[in-house]
């Protein structure tokens, strides 16, 4: 199991995830299609030539999914009970086809669960950067985590 038990987390802990992902045109088109998002910003190159970006941008929901997904292997794989929510999701810069995303995760709060013995809530701050080191996304995520088994 790759994820950590609740007791293994501490405030200020930072994970610099080794996994990175170069985003392709196919990724963006496929994700936009399966989520029924017809926004021209993701699908219509001719339209986008007239925007401030000059080309299609990556669907922000895909960016969010990658940012959280990349973090799972080092933090919550096999030890999470449930994702409790995402807060303060921001996209200060867009991603484009061919950009490579890398992610860092910081533990910013934790507490034992009040209603579930042996479990706890961990609050993560995820930050995603492009290949130029520019911050492209960040969010706070709360997860209900399993405590270390006693047997």
Q: What's the rounded Cα separation, in Å, for the pair 128 and 105? A: 9
Token pair for 15: 């994970």
Domain coverage including residue 100: 6-146
1 found inside a domain: no
Half-sphere exposure of 142 (CA within 13 A, CB side): 11
What total of structural domains would you count in the chain? 1
At 1, is the pLDDT very low, low, confident or very high (cuts 50, 70, 90)?
low
Specify the pTM: 0.93
pLDDT tens profile 69-118: 999 999 999 999 999 999 999 999 999 999 999 999 999 999 999 999 89
87 found inside a domain: yes
Could you give the 3-state DSSP secondary structure of residue 6?
A: helix
DSSP 113-145: -SSSTTEEEEEEEEEEE-TTS-EEEEEEEEEEE
Asked whether the predicted pLDDT for residue 147 surpasses 80, the reply is yes
37 found inside a domain: yes
124 found inside a domain: yes
22 found inside a domain: yes
Q: What percent of the chain has pLDDT over 90?
A: 95
Residue 89's CATH number: 3.10.129.10
Q: What's the rounded Cα separation, in Å, for the pair 9 and 12? A: 9
Q: Cα Rg for the chain, rounded, in angstroms?
A: 17
Quick one: pLDDT at residue 9? Answer: 97
Asked whether the predicted pLDDT for residue 151 surpasses 80, the reply is no
Token pair for 37: 């998002």
């Amino acid at each position: 199991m790759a994820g950590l038990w609740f007791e293994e987390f501490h405030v200020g802990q930072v994970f610099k995830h080794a996994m990175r992902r170069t985003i392709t045109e196919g990724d963006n088109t496929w994700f936009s299609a399966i989520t029924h998002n017809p926004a021209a910003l993701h699908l219509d190159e001719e339209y986008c030539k007239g925007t401030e970006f000059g080309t299609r941008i990556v669907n922000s929901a895909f960016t969010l999914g990658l940012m959280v997904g990349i973090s799972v292997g080092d933090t919550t794989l096999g030890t999470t009970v449930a994702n409790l929510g995402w807060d303060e999701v921001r996209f200060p810069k867009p991603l484009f086809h061919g950009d490579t995303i890398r992610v860092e995760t910081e533990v910013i709060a934790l507490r034992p669960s009040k209603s579930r013995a042996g479990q706890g809530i961990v609050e993560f701050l995820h930050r995603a950067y492009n290949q130029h080191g520019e911050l492209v996304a960040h969010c706070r995520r709360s997860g209900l985590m399993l405590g270390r088994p006693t047997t």
